[in-house]
A and B are shown apart, each in its own frame.
Chain A
Amino acid sequence: DTAVSQTPKYLVTQMGNDKSIKCEQNLGHDTMYWYKQDSKKFLKIMFSYNNKELIINETVPNRFSPKSPDKAHLNLHINSLELGDSAVYFCASSPDRVNHNEQFFGPGTRLTVL
């Protein structure tokens, strides 16, 4: 009965490869997000989707392409991986765009690019 799930939990890959991270939420929420947490624990929004529509793209390189096949899923595909992409990526969801709504976070995917 996990609320927000991500796969895989760990991802180790070589520079230049293409990889995907999947996210699913079973909370019935309309809005989903991707955040990046760097090695110093700093968290920054990457994308947000509302009802499968892209709302925020926070100056993320176009090697990163989110895909939302339906409201419950928001996947992140990364092309031509670089060393600087190494981080923990968190998916989150919230009921709608109202600003006081809590965001529910997944457990994170630790990406290591060698």
Chain B
Amino acid sequence: GDSVTQMEGPVTLSEEAFLTINCTYTATGYPSLFWYVQYPGEGLQLLLKATKADDKGSNKGFEATYRKETTSFHLEKGSVQVSDSAVYFCALSGGSGGSNYKLTFGKGTLLTVNP
């Protein structure tokens, strides 16, 4: 079945540092890939997505590129802010088994940004 592996946290950075959160996936077919963010005490919000190989998703200074050859979708941001502190989830939909009716999530990475 489908699976998503993302780097274990927690990740602690100083403001303005560079962020990378690694994400790799296992799926057959052509899944869509997502990064969701969960701020403390809230539900999940879509951060960015990519629906085919070589697509780059971007939002709020975050970027991720869908790499089919390495089955990866790493999240990056050039300069993090304290307000970026949250849990980040990599997810996929529509992989093996053709299921478009669910998101398969990675385990989440807690990011803390200190001033």
A interface with B by C-beta (< 8 Å): 4, 31, 33, 35, 40-45, 48, 50, 55-56, 58, 90, 92, 97-100, 102-108
Contact = CB atoms under 8 A, between A and B. Distances in A.
Contacts of A100: 32, 49, 51, 93-94
A2 to B, nearest CB: 11
A55 B34 CA distance: 22
Nearest to A46: B102
Contacts of B93: 99-100
Contact of B105 (A43, A48, A102): A43
Contacts of B103: 35, 43, 45, 103
Interface stretch (B15-23, B40-48, B70-78): B40-48
A103 B99 CA distance: 14
A42 B51 contact: no
B102 A48 contact: yes
A96 B31 CA distance: 16
Contacts of B38: 41
A97 B100 contact: yes
